[in-house]
Structure 1
Amino acid sequence: MAVRVTQNMLNSNMLRNLHNSMRNMDKLQDQLASGQKIAKPSDDPVVAARGMFYRSSLMENEQYTRNVDEAKSWLDMTDSTMDEVGNVMKRIKELLIYSGDGAISPEDLKTMASEVQELKNHLGTLANQQINGKYIFAGTDTNKAPYDAAANGGKGDFVNTNSSLINLEVSQNVFVTSNVNAQNIFNFPDNANNMFKLLDNIITELSNGRSAAQFQQKADQQFDKLLAERASLGANVNRVELIAERLKTQEVSISDLMSRNEDANMAEVMTDLKTQESVHSAALGSGARIIQPTLLDFLR
């Protein structure tokens, strides 16, 4: 059975096809202007879902990178401070050896006592080293100074007993330590015989005009422990640097995957747009022939 095609049907089909053509051109023009395959999730739910996943992964990677940067800052500050502590201990060891020289006068020994006192004060300053307002040798009590100049009868002592480590997450379920156990440095082997108490004993002997050479072994033990802790710190620094490099590589990989998923192929889009413009022009041309002539066309 034949279907009668009316003029209204021709006009409706022509308008519908023109609308579809314009809609396709609008979509291609949006892709060309934005550089993105989709403008809203309904354009392609799969691309949108993958894009959300990649963005979430990128945000996590950025947070891990910030944690690594913070850990590196703490470790670098700790390393430089421990290096300075080592230099102080070297000088003290030199003074202890020098004090054993029988030709040294009591007055010279008292002068040496003054120098050791200043070195001790400097060690107290180093023990209270801060980064971003937090004490790096206080364990998790980062808001309390670990060295108190008024402790031990005004002589000054390391009063912190917190040995907890600060861990930062640098990958999923992967943590790194950003500080050191200061008890192994300033409170070694215990608070009664720590670094500052040793210096107090040295100062007492030298102030009385006596040699303090008998403390050389204990000073060596303190220095050796400091070197061991610094070696452990160096291993931790190396690990953090390797993690930082891996996070940089992951950032590039995730960004590349996100670009492949969302970015439009500009050459392909421009070609499709040119093709669609040709189709639209052809549709307009055929539409001009379909529209029914009016009475005015016959009255010319």
Structure 2
Amino acid sequence: MRVTQSMLSGNMLRNLNNSYGKMSKLQDQLTSGSKITRPSDDPVIAVKGMGYRRDLAKVEQYTRNMITANSWLDSSDESLNQVGEQMKRVRELVIQAANGTNTPEDRDKIKKEIDQIRQQIQDVGNTNIDGSYIFSGTNTNQPLFTPVAGGGKEINPNLNAADKGVNIEIYDGIQIQVNTPGKDLFENINDMMGKISDLLGDPSKNGEELGDMLGGVSSSSTNDDITTMHNKILEAQADIGARQNRVEMMENRLGIREVNVTKQLRDNESVDYSKAITEMVTNESIHQAALSVGAKIIQQTLVDFIR
């Protein structure tokens, strides 16, 4: 096959263009720190990168969900802890009121404090987080207690799903209940407080009947006494604590997943600088050699050609 001058020129220019392309790609990698700057550079790396970024986006969303879950659980625990502390004070007041030596004025003072504690517990039942009532089941837009004619509050009669749980997804396919339906618990406590108040306001009721409200082994428990209510509060707090521990474990798991996916994304896309620099230097040397050899092979003028 006859090799002409135009063939030499064409081959040299084509090879030089390829060399420029390789150096341009390596320069882009060194500048951006990534193996690819567009999906067409390496579709496999691009598709894997999309998957890793999708996983990181899910991790970010689950992290936000866990912040919400912790907010609900912490608030529920703190609220029930307040109610538990109030139950201790109610016990002290009932023990004091059960003493037969109290005057009507003494009983009236105790009654007033009991009524204030009852209102405080109702306010706790209406605890609101970012516009959501945490003890109203799935009726998060409605308070647990609503005002009634003549003063005071009662359980909201419009709560249709007050015993339902509010679930939040905290991992792939894993949901956790973040609320504590409080309708039954707060209603029972509210009724018990009302009964104690009525006993204190009735002069015909003696200390023994008030003592029965204490509950426990030594009294005739009626399942609506102070001991029973306090135990129910502690049971609810124990349940919240278990869910808090579960969220904490899932947070650790999510943190490990984030670290692993971030490493996979880095290994998939990040350029190996030592390797890229070595290839860049090698390609520059080859390119310069090609330019030098090409200048000698290809004659630049007719005089050089016929000499």
Counterpart in the other structure of 1:220: 227
Equivalent of 1:155 in 136, 152, 158:
152
Kindly provide the CA deviation profile for residues 89-136 of structure 1, in whole angstroms up to 9, marking residues without a partner as x: 111111011111223221011011111111111111100001111000
TM-score calculated relative to the size of structure 1: 0.92
- Show structure 1 runs of 5+ residues with no match: 188-193
Aligned residue type for 2:195: N
Partners of 1:199 and 1:71 lie apart in 2 by 31
Kindly provide the CA deviation profile for residues 65-85 of structure 1, in whole angstroms up to 9, marking residues without a partner as x: 221221111001100111001
> Does residue 230 of the first structure (1) align with residue 237 of the second (2)?
yes
8 Å CA contact 1:184, 1:229 repeated in 2: no
Equivalent of 1:18 in 16, 19, 41:
16
Aligned pairs, how many?
Answer: 289
Pairs within 5 Å for 1:8-87: 8-87=6-85
Equivalent of 2:200 in 201, 206, 212:
206
Partners of 1:104 and 1:253 lie apart in 2 by 69
Pairs within 5 Å for 1:85-234: 85-150=83-148, 154-159=151-156, 160=159, 162-187=162-187, 194-209=188-203, 211=207, 212-217=210-215, 218-234=225-241
| Percentage of matched positions with identical amino acids | 39
8 Å CA contact 1:137, 1:182 repeated in 2: yes
Partners of 2:192 and 2:10 lie apart in 1 by 100
Partners of 1:48 and 1:291 lie apart in 2 by 42
- Show structure 2 runs of 5+ residues with no match: 216-224
Secondary structure of 1:39's partner? coil
Secondary structure of 1:30's partner? helix
TM-score calculated relative to the size of structure 2: 0.90
Cα gap change, 1:295 to 1:115, in 2 (>3 Å): same
Secondary structure of 2:213's partner? helix
Equivalent of 2:292 in 263, 285, 294:
285
Shift in Å, 1:291 = 2.2
RMSD between superposed Cα atoms in Å: 1.7
